[in-house]
Chain A
Amino acid sequence: MWNELLYAFQEVATLPNFLAMFAGIWGGVIIGAIPGMTGTMAVTLALPFTFYLSPVTSILLLVALYKGSTYGGSISAILIKTPGTASAACTVLDGYPLARAGKGGKALNMALISSCIGDFISNISLFFLAIPLATFALRVGPPEFFMLMAFSLTIVASISGRSLVLGIISACLGLLLATVGEDMYGSFRFALSEDMKSGLGMVPVLIGLFALPELIKMIVFRPEDNAAAMKLGDNRLTLAEFRGSIKSICRGSIIGVILGAIPGIGPSTAAFFSYSEARRTSKNGDKFGEGEIEGIAASESANNGACGATMIPLLALGVPGDVITGVMLGAFMIHGLTPGPLLFQNNLGDVYALFIGILFSSVFLFVAGKATAGAFTKISRIPQTLLLPCILILCVYGIYSIGASPFDVTVLLVMGVVGFAMMLLNIPAAPFLIAFILGPMFEDNMRRSLAISRGDLGVFFQSWISWGFFALTVLFVILTIRREWKKWRDKRDATNASAS
């Protein structure tokens, strides 16, 4: 093991890898700092460029973008009261009042330090949890994999939106789109045109679905321009302030790790959960929301803590926990690496290299954040009316450069329109994406299981692992239905009370 670790360290400690991580962190912070631009957008936009890099370098670049954008979201949250990413929404509550009080620099410093600590703890957990989970996953066959994927899709469908039904509709759309192209028997499905015979490319679908709807939304609804940014002001974070927040940082990091490792939950929920926990347990709980620095520590440590943890199910089981890890799964596959237990058997060196590289990226995050906090305040003021059309053009060039195919550009634009329609109809996009990526594996495992059992459905219930995942799926559906029913009943009671 130590030899492999040493070899992996040598593989990571190269100039291209360090440059990729630096570029990723900086790019991520810049994109995360711009309201309306998300980490998903950052990762998907970078995907076409990773084709020309080695597998480890490209994954490190994408992970760095993810981490950078998660921290970057806090910059605009603190300085212009607009969270750059959804996971920074809690940071606004205390960050903006601090900035108004002339303590923007202090708030940014706390956000950076707690993000880096959360990130580091999360990376360490990735190291210790992914390998045992992958060893367990080696005992899993096609029927168990089918059940596992059904379970992950159910979680993603129920958590990522407001309604389980709409989540499942979204997942069905993704699964259906994944069937376009050649079947395992060589027949074609939904080949409406000659180009569709080879299926729809993963990258145009991803980028179209997540990068374009924001542009279309801006053109159709024309929202107000960016608000003016606050000045940084007081920059010093005292030792007493740090000591007062250390409990919240540690708890936030652990919450981030646990919630990040469960598919479908992700950094936003982790941040909200950690913030409410810190508010409940802190002696300054009543000051939360008025500019309490502990609030920033709680939410930022949790959202960055979830970043590394989302890689645990991806690497160990091959199941992406959220949209960004879904894109990363695509990147792995493009480079001929299939995440899952076999990755640890066949490419252990690459996995160790990734772990070490991801640990390095926490340090880079600290350096990049510290060096350029002032400059990023200007970036968050770039008007979206200039930025978003340019991003579309960047997407068009990036997509075309992958396969020199105008069809891919058409898919990109069509998926943008589909993504916008889904946004209007409140249909969550995350289940669509995860289902589109998992679809071929999902179908393959189901058909293989049925072929092995000669059509007997009992094959899906022959092992305790299958039963376990089945029970979890049913339990999760019941809990979600119960939650929605309770929500509906509370709302009805409130309406009746106000009417009477």
Chain B
Amino acid sequence: MNQNRDFYAGLVATVFFAVILFVLIPIYVKVPSFIPGFAPPPDMWPRVVAVIGLVMGVLALVLAFPKMREASRDRVEGFGNRILGNKTHLMRFAGILIVFAAFVYGMPLIGFVPATVLLLGVLFIMTGNFERKFWMIGLAVIFPVLLYLLFTEVTHTPFPKGKLLSANISHLTTLI
């Protein structure tokens, strides 16, 4: 398990730093023309760090190979098998990503408080432990509202009301 982890860590690091070095730095790190020749340009430091990261990533990959070969004497486990073996975990992880993305995009629409109530409720459901249902329901509603009151009263934070909600309320006010 650890040997495979080292391999994947090396692989991820190599790919990540390669993308940074060959794709992102040329596009997203601009060098202004007014910098004198001897002064280090803005892209120098990210390049140095990315090169070190890339070398370390490759080194991690190389170092993981002998360990993996040793481990494979006992049990050969391919990447595909590992994914299929952890399908439930992957589904749950994907679920979390979807929930987080929905919160980020949904919060400006429905408002901060309703979005956090929904987020907390969904997270409680995702824990899979329904022994304390009433606690979960109560906390999902009360906790975000209490925090909202605390932060608006103490730090005077202007939380987003939500486009849909404020549009509806203004629509109602006009009707009245």
A and B: partners?
yes
Q: Mark A425-464, 1 if CB is under 8 A from B, else 0.
A: 1110000000000000001001100110011000000000
CB-CB < 8 A to A173: which residues of B?
16, 53
**Is B40 in contact with A451, judged by CB distance below 8 angstroms?**
yes
- If A169-B57, A426-B5, A447-B40 touch, does A190 touch B160 (CB 8 Å cutoff)? no
Q: Does A383 count as interface, using CB distance less than 8 angstroms?
A: yes
Q: Does A7 count as interface, using CB distance less than 8 angstroms?
A: no
Q: Does A333 count as interface, using CB distance less than 8 angstroms?
A: no
Q: Does B32 count as interface, using CB distance less than 8 angstroms?
A: yes
Q: Does A219 count as interface, using CB distance less than 8 angstroms?
A: yes
- If A404-B157, A406-B160 touch, does A172 touch B53 (CB 8 Å cutoff)? yes
**Is A168 in contact with B38, judged by CB distance below 8 angstroms?**
no
Q: Does A222 count as interface, using CB distance less than 8 angstroms?
A: yes
CB-CB < 8 A to A425: which residues of B?
5, 8-9, 12
**Is A172 in contact with B52, judged by CB distance below 8 angstroms?**
yes
**Is A406 in contact with B39, judged by CB distance below 8 angstroms?**
no
Q: In the assembly, what is the distance between CA of A416 and CA of B129, in Å? A: 22
Q: Does A2 count as interface, using CB distance less than 8 angstroms?
A: no
**Is B104 in contact with A185, judged by CB distance below 8 angstroms?**
no
Q: Does A201 count as interface, using CB distance less than 8 angstroms?
A: no
Of B20, B52, B143, the residue contacting A390 (CB under 8 A) is: B143
**Is B9 in contact with A189, judged by CB distance below 8 angstroms?**
no
**Is B132 in contact with A383, judged by CB distance below 8 angstroms?**
yes
**Is B96 in contact with A175, judged by CB distance below 8 angstroms?**
no
Give the residue name and chain of the A residue nearest to B37 (CB).
Answer: A455
CB-CB < 8 A to B124: which residues of A?
385-386, 389
**Is B45 in contact with A389, judged by CB distance below 8 angstroms?**
no
Minimum C-beta distance from A25 to chain B (A): 22
Restricting to A187-239, which residues have a CB under 8 Å from any CB of B? 187-192, 215-216, 218-222, 225
Q: Does A183 count as interface, using CB distance less than 8 angstroms?
A: yes
Q: Does B28 count as interface, using CB distance less than 8 angstroms?
A: yes
**Is A389 in contact with B116, judged by CB distance below 8 angstroms?**
no
CB-CB < 8 A to B154: which residues of A?
52
Of B63, B93, B144, B155, the residue contacting A52 (CB under 8 A) is: B155
Q: In the assembly, what is the distance between CA of A92 and CA of B29, in Å? A: 51
Q: Mark B8-49, 1 if CB is under 8 A from A, else 0.
A: 111011001100100010001111101101111011111001
Q: In the assembly, what is the distance between CA of A166 and CA of B14, in Å? A: 12
CB-CB < 8 A to B143: which residues of A?
390, 393
CB-CB < 8 A to B148: which residues of A?
397
Q: In the assembly, what is the distance between CA of A175 and CA of B50, in Å? A: 9
Q: In the assembly, what is the distance between CA of A46 and CA of B67, in Å? A: 42
**Is A426 in contact with B31, judged by CB distance below 8 angstroms?**
no
Of A190, A216, A404, the residue contacting B28 (CB under 8 A) is: A190
Q: Does B147 count as interface, using CB distance less than 8 angstroms?
A: yes
Minimum C-beta distance from B27 to chain A (A): 9
Minimum C-beta distance from B126 to chain A (A): 5
Number of interface residues of B (CB under 8 A): 74
**Is A446 in contact with B127, judged by CB distance below 8 angstroms?**
no
Give the residue name and chain of the A residue nearest to B5 (CB).
Answer: A426
Of B50, B107, B119, B151, the residue contacting A406 (CB under 8 A) is: B107
Q: Does B89 count as interface, using CB distance less than 8 angstroms?
A: yes
Of A184, A388, A413, the residue contacting B103 (CB under 8 A) is: A413
**Is B157 in contact with A426, judged by CB distance below 8 angstroms?**
no
Q: In the assembly, what is the distance between CA of A179 and CA of B139, in Å? A: 39
Q: Does B110 count as interface, using CB distance less than 8 angstroms?
A: no
Q: Does B68 count as interface, using CB distance less than 8 angstroms?
A: no
Q: Does A242 count as interface, using CB distance less than 8 angstroms?
A: no
Restricting to A10-33, which residues have a CB under 8 Å from any CB of B? none
Q: Does B128 count as interface, using CB distance less than 8 angstroms?
A: yes
**Is A393 in contact with B42, judged by CB distance below 8 angstroms?**
no
- If A386-B135, A397-B148 touch, does A176 touch B46 (CB 8 Å cutoff)? yes
* Interface-central residue, A168, A385, A410, by most chain B CB under 10 Å: A385
* Interface-central residue, B20, B28, B97, by most chain A CB under 10 Å: B28
**Is B53 in contact with A410, judged by CB distance below 8 angstroms?**
no
Q: In the assembly, what is the distance between CA of A278 and CA of B38, in Å? A: 57
**Is B31 in contact with A187, judged by CB distance below 8 angstroms?**
yes
- If A172-B56, A393-B144 touch, does A179 touch B45 (CB 8 Å cutoff)? yes
Q: In the assembly, what is the distance between CA of A424 and CA of B89, in Å? A: 12
CB-CB < 8 A to A155: which residues of B?
none
Q: Does B65 count as interface, using CB distance less than 8 angstroms?
A: no
Q: Does A379 count as interface, using CB distance less than 8 angstroms?
A: no
**Is B32 in contact with A385, judged by CB distance below 8 angstroms?**
no
**Is B42 in contact with A219, judged by CB distance below 8 angstroms?**
no
Beyond A215-B123, A220-B93, A446-B40, 18 extra complex contacts between A and B, CB < 8 Å: A163-B60, A173-B16, A185-B34, A187-B32, A189-B43, A191-B28, A192-B28, A383-B129, A389-B124, A394-B147, A397-B116, A400-B157, A401-B157, A404-B158, A426-B9, A447-B45, A450-B38, A495-B70
Report 22 cross-chain contacts, Cβ distance below 8 Å, ordered by A residue.
A165-B56, A166-B6, A169-B57, A172-B17, A172-B49, A172-B52, A175-B49, A179-B46, A187-B29, A187-B31, A189-B42, A190-B24, A191-B28, A215-B123, A386-B139, A389-B127, A393-B120, A397-B148, A404-B157, A404-B159, A410-B104, A427-B9
Interface residues of B (CB under 8 A from A): 2, 5-6, 8-10, 12-13, 16-17, 20, 24, 28-32, 34-35, 37-40, 42-46, 49-50, 52-53, 56-57, 59-60, 63, 70, 89, 92-93, 95-97, 100, 103-104, 107-108, 112, 116, 119-120, 123-124, 126-129, 132, 135-136, 139, 143-144, 147-148, 151, 154-155, 157-160
